[in-house]
Protein backbone atom coordinates (compact mmCIF):
# COMPACT_ATOMS: atom_id res chain seq x y z
CA UNK A 1 0.00 0.00 0.00
CA UNK A 2 1.88 3.04 -1.27
CA UNK A 3 1.16 6.72 -1.30
CA UNK A 4 -0.98 9.06 0.71
CA UNK A 5 -3.13 6.39 2.44
CA UNK A 6 -0.12 5.25 4.48
CA UNK A 7 0.13 8.74 5.94
CA UNK A 8 -3.06 8.13 7.85
CA UNK A 9 -0.85 6.07 10.15
CA UNK A 10 0.93 9.27 11.17
CA UNK A 11 -0.83 9.59 14.46
CA UNK A 12 -0.85 6.06 15.90
CA UNK A 13 0.10 7.94 19.02
CA UNK A 14 -0.01 11.69 19.33
CA UNK A 15 2.87 13.10 17.33
CA UNK A 16 5.12 15.65 18.98
CA UNK A 17 6.76 18.58 17.26
CA UNK A 18 10.28 18.92 18.60
CA UNK A 19 12.92 21.62 18.37
CA UNK A 20 15.51 20.29 15.95
CA UNK A 21 18.26 21.47 18.30
CA UNK A 22 20.79 22.74 15.81
CA UNK A 23 21.56 25.78 13.73
CA UNK A 24 22.25 24.04 10.49
CA UNK A 25 22.73 26.21 7.47
CA UNK A 26 22.07 24.28 4.31
CA UNK A 27 23.78 25.32 1.09
CA UNK A 28 21.22 26.19 -1.59
CA UNK A 29 22.24 23.20 -3.74
CA UNK A 30 21.37 20.71 -0.97
CA UNK A 31 17.98 22.18 -0.06
CA UNK A 32 14.73 20.40 -0.86
CA UNK A 33 11.93 23.00 -0.68
CA UNK A 34 8.27 22.14 -1.17
CA UNK A 35 7.38 21.93 -4.85
CA UNK A 36 5.43 24.76 -6.42
CA UNK A 37 1.72 24.34 -5.85
CA UNK A 38 1.92 22.13 -2.75
CA UNK A 39 0.31 23.72 0.28
CA UNK A 40 2.03 22.83 3.57
CA UNK A 41 0.48 24.55 6.58
CA UNK A 42 0.58 24.36 10.35
CA UNK A 43 -2.43 25.72 12.22
CA UNK A 44 -3.54 25.65 15.83
CA UNK A 45 -6.29 23.13 16.57
CA UNK A 46 -9.45 24.92 17.70
CA UNK A 47 -11.40 22.61 20.05
CA UNK A 48 -14.36 25.02 20.02
CA UNK A 49 -14.34 25.72 16.29
CA UNK A 50 -16.37 24.33 13.45
CA UNK A 51 -14.71 21.10 12.27
CA UNK A 52 -13.70 21.10 8.62
CA UNK A 53 -10.87 18.56 8.43
CA UNK A 54 -10.75 14.80 9.01
CA UNK A 55 -7.99 13.03 10.95
CA UNK A 56 -8.02 9.42 12.14
CA UNK A 57 -11.78 9.13 11.84
CA UNK A 58 -12.60 12.32 13.69
CA UNK A 59 -13.37 15.86 12.64
CA UNK A 60 -11.12 18.69 13.76
CA UNK A 61 -11.22 22.45 13.45
CA UNK A 62 -8.20 24.66 12.95
CA UNK A 63 -7.68 28.37 13.45
CA UNK A 64 -6.82 30.76 10.66
CA UNK A 65 -4.47 32.07 9.50
CA UNK A 66 -1.79 29.36 9.43
CA UNK A 67 1.35 30.08 11.44
CA UNK A 68 3.47 28.15 8.94
CA UNK A 69 3.12 27.81 5.16
CA UNK A 70 5.11 26.34 2.28
CA UNK A 71 6.63 29.79 1.74
CA UNK A 72 8.37 29.51 5.15
CA UNK A 73 10.09 26.21 4.31
CA UNK A 74 13.49 25.92 2.60
CA UNK A 75 14.09 22.20 3.19
CA UNK A 76 12.03 19.05 3.72
CA UNK A 77 13.70 15.72 4.39
CA UNK A 78 13.22 12.36 6.02
CA UNK A 79 15.74 11.55 8.75
CA UNK A 80 16.32 9.49 11.88
CA UNK A 81 16.29 11.12 15.31
CA UNK A 82 18.72 10.38 18.14
CA UNK A 83 16.70 7.26 19.05
CA UNK A 84 16.88 6.10 15.40
CA UNK A 85 13.17 6.72 14.84
CA UNK A 86 12.05 8.20 11.50
CA UNK A 87 11.16 11.90 11.54
CA UNK A 88 10.19 14.51 9.01
CA UNK A 89 12.52 17.51 9.28
CA UNK A 90 11.47 20.96 8.13
CA UNK A 91 13.96 23.86 7.95
CA UNK A 92 12.63 27.40 7.72
CA UNK A 93 13.69 30.63 6.04
CA UNK A 94 15.67 33.04 8.20
CA UNK A 95 12.98 35.65 7.56
CA UNK A 96 10.36 33.33 9.11
CA UNK A 97 12.30 32.20 12.18
CA UNK A 98 11.40 35.07 14.53
CA UNK A 99 7.71 34.92 13.69
CA UNK A 100 7.62 31.12 14.13
CA UNK A 101 9.52 31.30 17.41
CA UNK A 102 7.07 33.87 18.78
CA UNK A 103 4.04 31.85 17.59
CA UNK A 104 5.28 28.54 19.00
CA UNK A 105 6.30 30.04 22.36
CA UNK A 106 2.63 30.87 22.86
CA UNK A 107 1.54 27.36 21.84
CA UNK A 108 3.74 25.10 23.99
CA UNK A 109 1.52 22.27 25.22
CA UNK A 110 -1.20 23.02 22.67
CA UNK A 111 -2.18 21.01 19.62
CA UNK A 112 -1.48 22.00 16.04
CA UNK A 113 -2.36 20.32 12.76
CA UNK A 114 0.23 19.90 10.02
CA UNK A 115 -1.53 19.69 6.67
CA UNK A 116 -0.49 19.15 3.08
CA UNK A 117 -3.01 20.25 0.45
CA UNK A 118 -5.71 20.41 3.18
CA UNK A 119 -5.14 16.78 4.18
CA UNK A 120 -4.10 16.34 7.82
CA UNK A 121 -0.74 14.61 8.18
CA UNK A 122 -0.43 15.00 11.91
CA UNK A 123 -2.10 16.49 14.93
CA UNK A 124 0.64 17.16 17.42
CA UNK A 125 1.44 18.87 20.68
CA UNK A 126 4.08 21.60 20.59
CA UNK A 127 6.83 20.32 22.92
CA UNK A 128 8.89 23.51 22.82
CA UNK A 129 9.27 26.69 20.82
CA UNK A 130 11.09 26.57 17.50
CA UNK A 131 11.94 29.01 14.79
CA UNK A 132 14.70 27.64 12.58
CA UNK A 133 13.59 24.03 12.16
CA UNK A 134 11.37 21.31 13.56
CA UNK A 135 10.97 17.58 13.53
CA UNK A 136 7.68 15.74 13.31
CA UNK A 137 8.40 12.74 15.55
CA UNK A 138 6.51 10.00 17.38
CA UNK A 139 4.39 9.17 14.34
CA UNK A 140 4.68 5.36 14.32
CA UNK A 141 5.60 5.61 10.65
CA UNK A 142 8.23 3.48 8.99
CA UNK A 143 11.33 4.97 7.39
CA UNK A 144 9.80 4.27 3.96
CA UNK A 145 6.56 6.06 4.90
CA UNK A 146 8.42 9.16 6.10
CA UNK A 147 10.47 9.13 2.88
CA UNK A 148 7.23 8.86 0.86
CA UNK A 149 5.81 11.87 2.71
CA UNK A 150 8.93 13.99 2.10
CA UNK A 151 8.99 12.91 -1.55
CA UNK A 152 5.35 13.93 -2.04
CA UNK A 153 5.97 17.39 -0.58
CA UNK A 154 9.15 17.99 -2.59
CA UNK A 155 8.51 16.13 -5.86
CA UNK A 156 4.83 15.16 -5.97
CA UNK A 157 3.35 11.73 -6.31
CA UNK A 158 -0.04 10.03 -6.10
CA UNK A 159 -2.86 12.46 -5.42
CA UNK A 160 -4.23 12.30 -1.87
CA UNK A 161 -7.66 10.69 -1.51
CA UNK A 162 -10.67 12.88 -0.84
CA UNK A 163 -11.39 13.24 2.89
CA UNK A 164 -14.82 12.19 4.07
Q: What average pLDDT is seen over the chain?
A: 81
Q: What domains are defined for the chain?
A: 4-21+35-155 (3.30.1360.200)
Confidence of residue 18 (pLDDT cuts 50, 70, 90): very low
Among 7-11, 49-53, 84-88, 101-105, which is the least confidently predicted range? 7-11
pLDDT at 100: 95
- The 3-state secondary structure of the chain, one letter per residue: CCCHHHHHHHHCCCEEEEECCCCCCCCHHHCCCCCCCCCEEEEEECCCCCCCEEECCEEECECCCCCEEHHHEEEEEEEECCCCCEEEEEEECHHHHHHHHHHHHCCCCCEEEEEECCEEEEEEEECCCCCCEEEEECCCCCHHHHHHHHHHHHHCCCCCCCCC
The overall pTM is greater than 0.85: no
pLDDT at 27: 53
pLDDT at 7 over 80: no
> pLDDT for 56-72, tens place per residue?
888 999 999 999 999 99
Amino acid sequence: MRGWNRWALLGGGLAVLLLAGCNRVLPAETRHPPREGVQVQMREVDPDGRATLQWQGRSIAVKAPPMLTSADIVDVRAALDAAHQPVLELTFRKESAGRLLHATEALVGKQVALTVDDHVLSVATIAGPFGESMQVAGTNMSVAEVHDMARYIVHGGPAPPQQR
